[in-house]
Structure 1
Amino acid sequence: MLSATRIWAVMAKEFIQLTRDHLAYAMILIMPILQLVLFGYAINDDPRNLPTAVYVQDHGSFSRSFLSALTNSGYFRITQSANSQAELDRALARGEVQFAVVIPQDFTRRVVRGENPTILIEADAADPSATGGALAALAGLPGQALARDLTGPLVRSTQGAPFEVIVHRRYNPEGITAFNIVPGLLGVILSMTLVMMTSLAMARERERGTLESLLATPVRPLEVMIGKLAPYVGVGVVQVTLFLVMARLLFDVPMVGGWDALVVGVMLFIVGSLALGFFLSTLAQTQMQAMQMSIFYILPSMLLSGFLFPFRGMPDWAQALGSLIPVTHFLRIVRGALLKGVGLADAWPSVMALAAFVVVVTALAIVRYRTTLD
């Protein structure tokens, strides 16, 4: 017969064991809260206040009215004023702005004459979901932006819309989602495989007792780390090569150039991911704990890096957190190189962020590994 006393004893033992396993306790409590906060506050499919650069060659009142209407739409936030088309192109390629607006030199004169001038708006359409709402809002601007300026005789001289907005979608003019998702998937795959694979391998050695044999050798912590991680660097390079070949053959992802930035970014990210896995293994006592800590890293990386959702659609605090995640900078390098041809000279902010990540995580791993051995 079942004994309530024995069942209660087993339950009490299990609760005590659960409270001793702090990592499992964190998974139970923190993970649902983390998912609720991220999905509830940080995820937004309709980004607003997107950074916009303007190149204004006509400084009349009509130009100012158009820029005011553009800002009042809620989708555009003017952050840069360029002096040439080259500056606009550079800002778009670097990802500093989402849109570039060009107001021609004769805009006011042609509006007054009723010649229906054009305003060019270039959009960084590498991520179609980031620009869809803003581009849709442009449809009503020609008929509303100058409504208060065109009075009296000007109303008769401008039949219909006083000007036209021409939209140029750059880097992904057809709005193909795969061109954005597939390059971004490279960072997620490398994180899942390299971080988790390294942490599990090291934790497995600790469980089997083979790691303790290193205590009897003169091998230094940095030498152990390099020796154990070097083979996985080759694994990462093979993964990247295979991924790029399949992305080209299966999804026809454009590969414009920027190979110097791509190579440097890939190597830094591979080394950093392996060092992070090594560091997590020094914190974990079992393979299960190593896997749980890897998930703690991978989940925010997928949600806050701009992989699944537009990065600029998140609130400022979420963007600040996302900027601390190495996957965010790696995705900017990969997408910038493949879709825009961004080279090392323009991708240096993200490259430096990855280099800092490698240095910090490697130092932490060495210090923690030395402490573990002691």
Structure 2
Amino acid sequence: MTGFSFLRVLALLVKEFTQLTRDRVTAAMIFVLPIVQLLLFGFAINNDPHHLPAAVFAQDHSNLTRALVASMERTEYVDVRYLPRSEAEMERLMRQGKILLAVTIPPDFTRRALRGDKPQILAEADATDPVAASGAMAAVAALPTEALRHDLRNIAPEPTAPAFEVIAHRRYNPENLTSRNVLPGLLGVILTMTLVMMTAMAVTREYERGTMESLLSTPATSAEIMVGKLTPYVLVGIIQTMIVITLAKLLFALPLAGSAAGWFAFVFAVLLFILGNLSLGYLISTVAKSQLQAMQLSVFYLLPSIFLSGFIFPFLGMPRWAQLIGEALPVTHFLRVVRGSLLKSQTMADMGGELIALGLIVLIFSSVAVMRSRTTLD
């Protein structure tokens, strides 16, 4: 029996480091992942979003009204991007998610303000994202103490009380419950986490055991093999969806879609999202050389899906480059559809753009996965 040898330990260390540098995927995960996550989330995450899209339905077209709108924009919390001509048009903008804040100015606003009658304006916020809505509502609520003072000073003495009142209304989530925002998003995260990782590791296991090589030697094409392997996991995703929605309804009173059109859009989005996650998992399996690598790559994808999709942090609070990355993630569009159908009673017409984006992502993932699978084994 020989004694402990530092030379043999050194030789083993050299061997392990050499093997580590040859494994490009693992090396990239070690060095690239921390840098990417630090830069990505350090610059992208923001719990105090500014320049949120807003609409003003002004029934009083006066200088005071224009001064009030200008005061809103000076807060930098909102950008007035729409000037609808009717309540129905503003309702449509809110329901489709194009605006986060809707302000209605009554037709007698100027006359009552000049008389000192303290007119009221209505501010409605899309509270499906309570964090984003809170900043906008706080900025609007502070307007009576700041706005119009200079404009009214030339007409009346220095006012001792606010010139108008703001009636705040939180739409779709009046109780401002965080669960109304988190639970629909949690469905997307659960499906992403389980389906992508489960598929990637299951197919990679086939490569490790050599059974995939046997399948590729049969007359079955790459597309047929992929469809055959992924179809059982579609049922898994459907069962997970039913469990999450049922428990969310029973335990947290999550509202469900109130119309057949809303349910149809929800089910269609769930199926598209499941197919997209499975296709991505299959694509990862064509890159990974081991189950460990498959799990690492799945985690690398999962983190941006959680932080850049609007699940935890307000999507509108992120810089534009981070929003572009988020738009490329299927979970971002899925969250909008789920929240829209369950909380806003959206229909297919309201969420058509999100469903088209989901469909394109599924098509891209599945096409690339089929092309990659043809060259995986020599």
Give the TM bin, normalised by the shorter chain.
Answer: over 0.9
2:172 matched residue in structure 1: 171
1:15 matched residue in structure 2: 17
CA distance in 2, matches of 1:89, 1:34: 40
CA contact (8 A) 1:114 1:159 kept: no
CA offset at residue 105 of structure 1? 1.2
The superposition leaves residues 212-240 of structure 1 with CA deviations (integer Å, 9 ceiling, x where unpaired) of 11133111111111111111111111111
CA distance in 2, matches of 1:301, 1:71: 31
Gaps of 5+ in 1: none
CA distance in 2, matches of 1:224, 1:215: 8
1:197 matched residue in structure 2: 198
Number of residue equivalences: 373
Aligned letter for 2:56? V
Aligned partner of 1:262 among 263, 266, 280: 266
CA distance in 1, matches of 2:26, 2:111: 69
Instruction: After TM superposition, list the pairs within 5 Å mapping 1:95-174 onto structure 2.
Output: 95-155=97-157, 160-174=161-175
In the alignment, structure 1 residue 366 sits paired with structure 2 residue 367: no
CA distance in 2, matches of 1:140, 1:301: 35
CA offset at residue 159 of structure 1? 5.2
SS at match of 1:149: helix
The superposition leaves residues 342-367 of structure 1 with CA deviations (integer Å, 9 ceiling, x where unpaired) of 11110011100000001111110111
Mean Cα displacement is larger for which, 255-264 or 269-278?
A: 255-264
Gaps of 5+ in 2: none
In the alignment, structure 1 residue 64 sits paired with structure 2 residue 66: yes
2:35 matched residue in structure 1: 33
CA distance in 1, matches of 2:230, 2:216: 19
1:332 matched residue in structure 2: 336
In the alignment, structure 1 residue 291 sits paired with structure 2 residue 295: yes
Identity value in percent: 52
SS at match of 1:101: strand
Instruction: After TM superposition, list the pairs within 5 Å mapping 1:242-253 onto structure 2.
Output: 242-253=243-254
CA contact (8 A) 2:54 2:79 kept: yes
SS at match of 2:103: strand
Aligned letter for 1:43? I
C-alpha root-mean-square deviation of aligned residues, in Å? 1.3
1:316 matched residue in structure 2: 320
CA offset at residue 178 of structure 1? 0.7
Aligned letter for 2:353? P
In the alignment, structure 1 residue 185 sits paired with structure 2 residue 189: no
CA contact (8 A) 2:50 2:317 kept: yes
CA contact (8 A) 1:119 1:166 kept: yes
Mean Cα displacement is larger for which, 3-12 or 122-131?
A: 3-12
2:6 matched residue in structure 1: 4
Aligned letter for 1:269? F
CA contact (8 A) 1:262 1:337 kept: yes
CA offset at residue 134 of structure 1? 2.2
CA contact (8 A) 2:144 2:164 kept: yes
SS at match of 2:150: coil
CA distance in 2, matches of 1:215, 1:120: 64
Q: Which runs of 4+ in 1 moved over 4 A?
A: none
In the alignment, structure 1 residue 300 sits paired with structure 2 residue 304: yes
CA contact (8 A) 1:122 1:169 kept: yes
Mean Cα displacement is larger for which, 122-131 or 132-141?
A: 132-141
TM-score normalised over the length of structure 2: 0.96
CA distance in 2, matches of 1:74, 1:168: 20
CA contact (8 A) 1:38 1:303 kept: no
